[in-house]
Structures are given as C-alpha cells and as structure tokens.
Amino acid sequence: MALKLFNTLSRSVEAFKPLDPEGKQVGLYCCGPTVHNFAHIGNFRTFVCTDLLRRYLVFRGYELRHVMNITDVEDKIIAAVKKSNRTLKDYTGEYEKAFLQDFDALGCLRPHELPHATDFIQEITELIGKLIEAGFAYRASDGSVYFSI
C-alpha cells in the first residue's frame, strides 16, 4: 500500500513520490518552535507527527534528511528581550534548551539540522525584497511586510 499525503498545492490526497529521480532520498522540513516561552503539549503535536512520518519513511528504506528551524527572533521575542535586560541568545537559549529537553523526553529523533532564523537574516531580507518586487507581498505603513492575498 502506497503512502498517501494531502498535497496543499493541488488540494488533494496523492501517493507519495520522492522528488529524487532515483526515488531514494527524501527531504523532510518541519517548521520548528518560536522560542519565546516554554512549549506545552499541544505545541508538540506537530513534532510528534513529523517524527512518526520520519520513522515510517526510514522504515520504508528512504535516505532521509530532516530539517527543523528554530525561530529565535520575532516581535514578541524582541519585546521580551528589551524588558528582560538579557541578550537575545541568552533569552531564547533558555527556551530552546527546554524545548529540546522536552523533545527528547517525548522520544522524538533530533532533526539532522536545526538552523536558527538569526543565522539567515540577510537571506530572509533578500527573499522579502523579491516577494515585494514580484507583487506577492507588500509593505504596510508601519514598515511590516505582509503576503498579498
């Protein structure tokens, strides 16, 4: 029986087919936590489901690379850092450490890569510029950028 997943692009359930022409390698990306507070069990639903999918794909013989980002900068974090008189890394590091301890306690396999948003600010800024230029996003009067729907 083939693995079937819901494709949000086509809005239909489709049989899983790797992008790899040889059908062996699979990439799995999961949007990770925003580390501005301690995670609760509801936050972990996504990560447990991703872990289950990862284990199934490996069981089926795929070579898998799992990436989960850490969002360590956003408006709530910036405001909290200012109030706390701590550095950004110190503030977010506390919540990231707690998240990973809870992640491990649930028995989830750690992603192969855990990139932090703060390590990609230049690339993010460039992508936002391209989205605005292409008409997919716009800048509001307060400087915020939103997707143009």
Rounded to whole angstroms, the Cα distance separating 66 from 28 reads 5
The tens-digit pLDDT sequence of the chain (149 residues) is 789 999 999 999 999 999 999 999 999 999 999 999 999 999 999 999 999 999 999 999 999 999 999 999 999 999 999 999 999 999 999 999 999 999 999 999 999 999 999 999 999 999 999 999 999 999 999 999 999 98
And the tokens for 13?
């359930």
Q: How many CA atoms lie within 13 A of 146 on its CB side?
A: 7
Stated pTM of the model: 0.88
Q: Residue 132: count other Cβ atoms within 10 Å of its Cβ.
A: 14
Rounded to whole angstroms, the Cα distance separating 112 from 109 reads 9
3-state secondary structure of 36: coil
Rounded to whole angstroms, the Cα distance separating 108 from 118 reads 25
Question: Which domains, and CATH codes, for the chain?
Answer: 24-115 (3.40.50.620), 120-149 (no CATH)
Q: How far is CA 139 from the centre of its chain?
A: 24
